[in-house]
Structure formats: C-alpha cells, structure tokens
Structure 1
Amino acid sequence: MDVRTSGGQGGAPADGPGPHPDELPDGLVVADARGLVVCFNAAAARITATPPARALGRPLEQVLPLEDLEGRRWWRLTDPYGGLAIRTGQPERNLLLPGGREVLVSARYVRARPAGPLQRLVVSLRGTEARRRTERSHAELIATVAHELRSPLTSVKGFTATLLAKWERFTDDQKRLMLETVEADADRVTRLIAELLDISRIDSGRLEVRRRPVDLVAAVDRHVRAHIAAGQPQDRFVRRITGPLPKLWADPDKIDQVLGNLLENAVRHGAGTVTIEVAPTRTKAGDEGTAVTVSDEGPGIPEESMSRVFTRFWRGSKRGGTGLGLYIVKGIVEAHGGAITVGRSPAGGAEFRFTLPVGTPAVLA
C-alpha cells in the first residue's frame, strides 16, 4: 500500500489498488522512516479514542504510548528504528493503552533491502473484547462440564465401590437397581461427551452432514411413541401433517437429535398439549423445503429471553441440564442450510419452528 499524507481521512490515498485503510476491520497505524505517523485509519481512531487529525504527523511513540503488562514502555523495549536491522516485525501480543485498556498489537518492519534502514513501520491494532468473550465462554464451558460430570461419576463410583465391597449382602433386586442407576449415569456422561464433540465441530465449522432420505413424519411418530412408552399420556400429543411433503435429504441421526431435543423441552419444560406440525414450505432463498413446528401450552419463554435461547448455556426458569441443547440444535439446522426460530404459540407456550431445504443426495465416492 502506497501510504502518504495526502488523500483520504486516515492519511492514505483515496484511490488506487487495494482497500482504503478506513475499510479495514483492524486498526492500522503507519509511521515513516522518521517515526512520524502517516496513516491512522478509522479503526485505530476508535480503538485508541484518538482522532486521525491529532495523530497524523506526530511521533509514533506519542500517538501510541504503549506499555507491556509489567508497565514498561514498549517502543523503548523493541526499538524498531534502532536495534538489530535483521528484524522483520513483532508478533501479536497484549499491550496497554493509557488508562490500562488492553489492546492486541503486532508490527511489521518494512525495509528497502534486507538489513537496511527502516522505511516504514506498520502497526496493527485489535480490541481484546472478542477474545475475552471467547475465553470467558471456554471457561464457562469447562466449569459447566466439570459440574455436570461430577454428579454421575460420583454416583457410578459410589455404587460400584459398594457392590464390590458388599456384593453378598445385597439381594438380586437391589443389585439390579444399583446397576441400572450406574447404566443411566454412564449414559448421561456419554450424552455430555457427545454434546461437547458437537459443539467443537459446530464452532470450527466441521460438523459433517451425511445426507440420506429422511421421513420426517416417521421420525416424529417414533419420538412421540418413545415419550408415551416413558409414561406420558397419549392424548398429550397432537400431530398435524400437511401434505404432500417434498422428499427430504438430510442426516437422519442429526435430525433425530433436533426432534428429540425440541420434544424433550416441550414435554419437560412446557405444559398441556404438545403439538407437532409438519408442512411443506419455501426457504428464504425460494427453494422447496419442509417446516417442523413444536409448540406447547406452558408459560412460554419471556420476550426478553428469546434473543438468547440459542446461545450457549441459556437456561429458562426451572431448566436443568447444561444449557447446550438448543445451541447444538441451531448448529445442526444451519449445517443443513436451514433456519430455526422461537416464538410464542397461539396457546401461550413456547413455539420452535425449523425449516430445512430438500437438500441434495450425498455424492458417493
């Protein structure tokens, strides 16, 4: 980039090849061979709270009086215009602006020839807010997982230790009850590990979708039967199918996961009748698709919470679990090219609606 003091707002040329510095998402500060600032873009102005007019033409050390986390002045430590002439820059690190505000800083040394004098010093600035949010999210995830694992593992350890120490003292019925509890707790741990793997794949964009023909109506019926077998009254579920439905190509296991989570939420946290509607629809792109709506007659989700329903760790009132289920549901639906929304049902409860495009068959190698 040919940086000069005439031209655009940030001291860079208004036209020419490449983007204008003010279009860059990160802060950009460029100093010339004398150490005077010749470019100070809009993002740098926002991060440092310094207008470009007050930065241009001034010494870099005055415009960016950076300190490391131990309070040492960074420019004196790195000495870009002196020191070793073979250096090419500084890797990104946390530094402090006046007032103690953290900023991520990296630098590139531009020389006319290797080991020659410095012609330009290019500094990149980034705020730390996004990184801090990610760090807090990871810390919260670790704390949640540790908490959720502790209870079933303690139970498994307690029952197995008791059985090993006092096997002969228990009746067959008592042994069966304890082993069934151990099995249920082991299943809980397995589900939690599966959730963590799903989150990792969703966050990294590596969630694999293995598309096959999916019969949504049969999948809904299967989940309803499972809830009835578990003790729910048959008349609690209403199923409405509007046909004919288009042929759907999706990942059967993952669609089962979505349906299972939404129905479980409606049964456990809702009230009254649970209604499942399946109907043909059009996606936002105008493509043929299928819509599934799951609603209940419970208290619903407060209006102020609806924007956070699909975030990590969201739990409504009296909700248990990790708070990861709906985050995973959203990731699965979006990985299929679909969308999911939450609202209030006509009966006043929660209403979840997800749409899936018909998709295309998987390409066989």
Structure 2
Amino acid sequence: MSIDTLTGRFAALTLLFVALAELFVLVPAVSNFRMDYLQTRLEKAQIASLALLAAPEDENITADLESELLANAGVYNVVLRRDDVRQLVLSSPLPGPIAATYDLRESSLFRNGIASVRQLLDRKDEVIRVIGAPVNHAGQLIEITLSTAPLRAAMSEFGLRVLITSAVLILLTAAVLNLAAQRLILKPIRRVISHMASYSASPEDTRLIITPDARIVEVREAETALASMQATLTQALKQKERLAGLGQAVAKISHDLRNILTTSQIFADRLEDSDDPAVRKAAPKLVNSITRAVNLCETTLAFGKAEEPAPTLSRFDLRGLVDEITEAETLLSEGGDAIGTVDFVVDISSNLVIRADRDQLHRVLSNLIRNARQAIETSGNSGTIEIAATETDQDWIIRVGDSGPGLPQKARDYLFQPFTGTTRKGGSGLGLAIAADLVRGHGGKLELLRSDESGTEFRVILPRGALIENFDVE
C-alpha cells in the first residue's frame, strides 16, 4: 500500500491521529499511576507505624523487625504527626540527601504530570520526601522518604504496558477504519474511476454512461455531474460525426456541381450576344445567379478542407483595399433588383498602412461588407455602410457597420458557426465562419459589437505585435 494512494494516506493519518490521542492519554495515565504508587507507600508506612505503636511501651522492637517493616513499606523513614506532635516512628539511614518534597494533599493534575515526566526522564536515583494525610484520620499527617529508582521502574513498566496496549488498539482501529473507508468511500470512488476509463475507451456508446446510485451525497453529486457531461459529450460526438459525413458528401457534390456550373457560366455569357432582346435582358441575371452558385460551391469546398494557408504578411494601403471592395459591391448593388440604394462611407486615412495578408483580409472585409449590403437590400430600404479604421500602439482596428435591420437572436447565437449563422435565404452560413478563422490566423479576433434595430457593427482587431516568424513574409 503506497503512501501516494488515497488508502495509504488515510491509513497514515489514522495511525498518526490515534497515536497522538494515545500520547495525550499516556501522560495522565502515568501521572495517576505515580499518585497511586506514592499513596500506596503512605498507606503501607502507616500500617507499619501503627503496628509499632500498638506494641507495649515496655517492649522495644528489634532492629531486624524495624528493617523488615520499612522494607515491606518500601520507604526509609516514617514520621507521624499526632496531636501536634511530630514523631519519628520508623527510621533507617538515608543513602543521600533529600532531593525533593511532594505534598500529596496539595497535588494537582498539572503538577503531578510535570513531576511524572521529570522523574521518567531523570535517570538518577534520588531520595524524595512524600507527605500525605493518614487514612481513617489516624493522625494529622504522615511523612515518608523513599528512593526514586523503584518508582521510576514501576512507572516505566506501566507506561510500556500502556504503549503496547495502545499500539494494538491503534493497529486494530486503523485496520477497521481502513476497511470501512474501503467499503464506504474508496469503493464508490473506484467505481467512478472505472466508469470514466470505460467511457473514455468508447465515448460513443451510450450504455457506458454512468448511472448515479452512490449513497454518499458528494460521490452521488460527482456521478450526476459525470453522467451529464458524458451524455453531452456523446451527443456532441454523434453530432460531429454526422456533420463530418454530411460535409464530405456536400464537398463531393459541390466539386461536381462547380464543374457543371462553370460550363453553364461559359454558355450563359454568350447569351448576351443573342439577337433576342428578352434573352439579352435575362442573360445578366442568369450569369449572376450562376456566378453566385459557383462561389457557393467554391466556398463550401474551401471550408470542407478545414485548412487555410498561413498568412503571407505584407505592408499595404488599407484605404486602397477597402475602395476596391466597395467599388465591386457598388456595381453588384446597381446591377441587382434591390429597391433601396446602399451608400458606402469610408473613414480611413490614406496614410494608414497595415501589415497583413492582403488576399485574406480582402476576403474578410468583402464578406462583412457584402453581408451588410445584402441585409439592407433585403429590407427594401435604403441604407448606409460605414467602414472605418484606427490604429493603436498594439493593434489595427477595422469597423464595418451598417444601418440595416440588425440580426435576429438566433443568428447572433450561432454567428461564427458554419451552416448555422446565416439568415439570408440561400446562404450557406460559411462566410463569417471562414472570416473568423482568417482573422484568428493573424492572431486577431472578429467581434460583433452590436446588432439591433439601428444596424449591425463588426470589429476586426489585428495585432501589430504579431511575431513575424510565425508567418510567411513578403
């Protein structure tokens, strides 16, 4: 069992805390044993002295008997105080001076604990005086002297027994707690881990989603959260799998359709030279429709590749690029069937030079401006598209805003997601998704600042401090 496992750490903590608890129990236990030991010596000394006092006055006890009485009591001297008279009842030579005096009548738990620890740690054999109250009121006090060596030996033996007993209890307690933890805590956790491992091997299999049934509240909450996450992930994987299959099918269809439409476009161009006025009038509309269809196929194919070349950075005049785009959109607007007119307002200094991939930025701004123009034309009202740009020490900032009807909530929720962010009939929803990818490729970001009844405004942020070594530079 490793200490790095939850089981090992739980067992180590159990042993540690139980050992600390036993340590706090050991000191009071040894202190109480010391008090009982000294009290017993006082009682034995009192019995020995009373036996001597009960003898006839004209009879003296022999030295051997006195020594035997002192040896049985485990003391050197016995002094009784009766009727305010202090009397040395039993005595023998002391092996040394009295090192300390302890009055059991004034002893406290704290004092007794300190004295017990001191006597256990002090390995010298000393003589101490102990004072106590005689039992059964047989005098005012009793005083004895004794050696600390037998006391220390008895305390050590008692402490060792307590430690051995404590060690057994600690091991038993740790074993029981460990078994309980294994059963009640670790087993449910291992079940969650096992479900996670099984699910990671086959996340598409809904049978592997965990069913929350733990009795522990916290573990059940974890299982519930895991089940929710697994269900969401499984659904997302199935959705992505279906979209991947659909994307491959659309890409194949778009490839073949583009070839067909390209051929049709060539023939449609020749219709403008027809002698029939109706045909000549309808030809531009047919060409525009076929052109849009070809562009849709090419856009779908480009997105289906899921890759864009790294930006080729170069310095160029931003105003010239925007003028080029607005001129093309103006021609498309004038050549269409829109009822209202679209005015373009460009607020960009002719001296503003930026560093970016010109072709990719052309695609980004063309998409934003074309979407704005089509939104205004679809509303049937006239409107304005404003393109502005500023620069800071860190970024170039380009804003494209319009006075159109604004985007509905559904479009704002899925704005930069392919096939979902479009609101225009016939739109693919790829334009903004591709534009956002191109801007991210520059290290920047494309944001929707606002979209309400007053219009829509996008912001393109291109960092000036982008690391040149990350891109191809002309």
Change (3 A) 1:213 1:131: same
The amino acid across from 1:128 in the alignment is T
The amino acid across from 1:280 in the alignment is T
Contact 2:388-2:400 within 8 A present in 1 as well:
no
1:355 match: 461
Q: CA offsets, 1:101-146, max 9 Å, x none?
A: 569xxxxxxxxxxxxxxxxxxxxx9753443232133234346556
List aligned pairs for 1:115-154, cutoff 5 A. Answer: 127-142=233-248, 144-145=250-251
Instruction: Please say if 1:173 is aligned against 2:265.
Output: no
List aligned pairs for 1:34-49, cutoff 5 A. Answer: none
Change (3 A) 1:96 1:291: closer
**Counterpart secondary structure, 1:323:** coil
Instruction: Please say if 1:226 is aligned against 2:328.
Output: yes
- Structure 1 residue 268: Cα displacement: 1.0
The amino acid across from 2:5 in the alignment is R
Instruction: Please say if 1:55 is aligned against 2:156.
Output: no
Change (3 A) 1:101 1:298: farther
**Counterpart secondary structure, 1:211:** strand
1:280 match: 390
Q: Identity of paired residues, percent?
A: 20
Instruction: Pick the structure with greater CA Rg.
Output: 2
Deviates more, 1:237-246 or 1:318-327: 237-246
Structure 1: runs of 5+ lacking an equivalent: 12-50, 69-90, 104-124
2:319 match: 217
List aligned pairs for 1:219-258, cutoff 5 A. Answer: 219-232=321-334, 236-241=342-347, 243=349, 246-258=352-364
CA distance in 2, matches of 1:230, 1:305: 25
Question: Which of structures 1 and 2 has the larger relative contact order (alpha carbons within 8 angstroms, sep 6+)?
Answer: 1
1:200 aligned to which of 305, 308, 323: 305
Contact 2:402-2:456 within 8 A present in 1 as well:
yes
CA distance in 1, matches of 2:192, 2:423: 56
Q: CA offsets, 1:154-192, max 9 Å, x none?
A: 6667899x99xxx9xx99517997998579737743653
**Counterpart secondary structure, 1:275:** strand
TM-score, scaled to structure 1: 0.55
Change (3 A) 1:327 1:66: closer
- Structure 1 residue 294: Cα displacement: 1.7
1:110 match: none
- Structure 1 residue 229: Cα displacement: 2.4
The amino acid across from 1:6 in the alignment is T
CA distance in 1, matches of 2:186, 2:416: 43
Contact 2:310-2:472 within 8 A present in 1 as well:
no
CA distance in 2, matches of 1:329, 1:281: 20
Change (3 A) 1:101 1:210: same
Instruction: Please say if 1:291 is aligned against 2:415.
Output: no
**Counterpart secondary structure, 1:299:** coil
- Structure 1 residue 230: Cα displacement: 2.9
Q: CA offsets, 1:296-351, max 9 Å, x none?
A: 22220124532311111124434322111100000011111111111436861222
Instruction: Please say if 1:185 is aligned against 2:286.
Output: no
Alpha-carbon RMSD: 5.0
The amino acid across from 2:387 in the alignment is E
List aligned pairs for 1:6-25, cutoff 5 A. Answer: 6=7
The amino acid across from 2:401 in the alignment is S
Higher strand share: 1
- Structure 1 residue 289: Cα displacement: 2.3
Change (3 A) 1:228 1:152: same
2:370 aligned to which of 222, 240, 264: 264
- Structure 1 residue 357: Cα displacement: 2.0
CA distance in 2, matches of 1:293, 1:357: 15
The amino acid across from 1:217 in the alignment is R
Q: CA offsets, 1:47-106, max 9 Å, x none?
A: xxxx9744356799xx659999xxxxxxxxxxxxxxxxxxxxxx9445756xx3569xxx
CA distance in 1, matches of 2:350, 2:322: 16
Higher helix share: 2
CA distance in 2, matches of 1:318, 1:354: 22
Change (3 A) 1:264 1:93: same
CA distance in 2, matches of 1:65, 1:247: 54
- Structure 1 residue 195: Cα displacement: 4.4
Structure 2: runs of 5+ lacking an equivalent: 12-183, 211-228
